[in-house]
Structure 1
C-alpha cells in the first residue's frame, strides 16, 4: 500500500485556515473582554441607581417629619432657628 503525502499547497491552505481561526478567536476574546467590562459597568450603574431610588423613597416616606424638614432647611436653604448661630470654616 502506497501512502500519499500532502502536497505543499494543501499544507499552506491548512496553515492559512489555522491562522484565520486563531485570528478569529483572538477577535472574539477581545469582544468578550469588552462585553464583560461593559456588563460590570452596567451592573455598577444599576446598583448606584438602586441606592438613589432607595434614598428618594426614604425622602418621600419621611417628608412630613419635622426633624427632616429642619435638616433640609438648614442644609439646602441655609436657614437657622431663632437664637441659633452657624459657623462656617474655610480652608
Structure 2
C-alpha cells in the first residue's frame, strides 16, 4: 500500500535515515515535530512481516510517498525476531 502526504517533504540524503529510531529532519527548524519513533516502528513492523518499505519525495516543500509491501505468506525470517525486540524496546522507553 502507499501513503501520500503533502507535508514538508524529505531530502534524498535523508531517505534511509528517516527509518532510524528518534531521527528527525531539521529538528531545530521544525519545533512541531513528533518524537521520531513513527517511521522506526513502521520499519520494524515491515521487517517482522518480511516486507519492504520505500520513500519517494521531490525534496523540501513537495510532500512524500511511502510504499509498504507485505508478503501474503508469513516469513521464515530470523531477522524478524530482532526487529520485534527493537520495537518492544522502543515502546517500553
Higher relative contact order, structure no. (Cα contacts within 8 Å, ≥ 6 residues apart)? 2
More helix by share: 1
More strand by share: 2
Report the TM-score when normalising by structure 2.
0.22
Larger Rg: 1
